Amino acid sequence: MSTELENTNMENEEQAPKTDISTERYLTFRSDGVTMGVSTNYVIEIITDNFITELPRVPDYIRGIINMRGQIVPIIDIRLKMGRGMSEYMDTTCIIVLDIDTVYIGIIVDSVQQVLDVDKTQISPIPVEDHQKLVNGMISLSSQEVLLFLNCEELISTY
Partner 1 sequence: MDNGMDNMLDMYLFETNSLLEQLDNLLIESEKNEEFTTDDVNEIFRTMHTIKGSSAMMEFSSLMTIAHRIEDLFFFVRENGIESLSSNDKSELFNLTFKSTDVLRGEVEKLENNEPLTTNIDNITSEINTFLNKISGKGEEPGPAADSGSAPAGTASVAGLPNSKCPYFIQMFFEEGSGMENLRAFMLVNALKDIGLDFEFYPEDVETNSATSESIIEKGFFVGLNSEEDMVTAVAAVKDQGSIHTYEVIHNEQKPKEEPAKTEDAPQVQQPAASPAPAGSAPKENANAQHANKQSLISVNLSKLDALNALVGEIVITESMVTSSPEIQGLKLDSFLKSTRQLRKLTDDLQDISMSLRMVSISGTFQKMNRIVRDMKKALNKDVRLTIIGEDTEIDKAIVDSIGDPIMHIVRNSMDHGIEITKEERIAAGKDPQGEIILSASHTGSEVVITIQDDGQGMDPEKILAKARRNGLLTKPESEYSKKEILGMLMLPGFSTNEEVTEFSGRGVGMDVVKKNVESVGGTISITSEVGQGSCTTLKIPLTMAIVDGMELRVGKSIFTIPISNIRQSIKIAKENLLYDAKGNEIVKIMDEFYPIVRVYELYNIDTDITQIEDGILIWVEAGEHSYCMFVDELLGERQIVVKPLPAYLNNFDIKNSGISGCTILGDGNISIILDVLNMYTAANI
Residues that bind partner 1 (CB under 8 A): 51, 53-59, 62, 65-67, 69-70, 72-74, 103-105, 156, 158
**Do 113 and 7 meet the contact criterion of CB atoms below 8 Å apart?**
no
Amino acid, single-letter form, for residue 13: E
CA triplet 11, 14, 17: central angle to 5 degrees?
A: 130
Our CB check for partner 1 shows the closer of 61 and 113 to be 61
Our CB check for partner 1 shows the closer of 3 and 67 to be 67
Give min distance, CB of 56 to partner 1, in A. 3
Give min distance, CB of 88 to partner 1, in A. 17
Give min distance, CB of 59 to partner 1, in A. 7
Length of the chain in residues, anyone?
Answer: 159
Give min distance, CB of 112 to partner 1, in A. 22
E runs forming strands in the chain: 2-4, 23-31, 34-39, 43-47, 62-68, 71-77, 94-100, 103-109, 111-119, 135-140, 146-150
Our CB check for partner 1 shows the closer of 72 and 146 to be 72
Our CB check for partner 1 shows the closer of 33 and 59 to be 59
Closest CA to 97 of 155, 58, 142, 22: 155
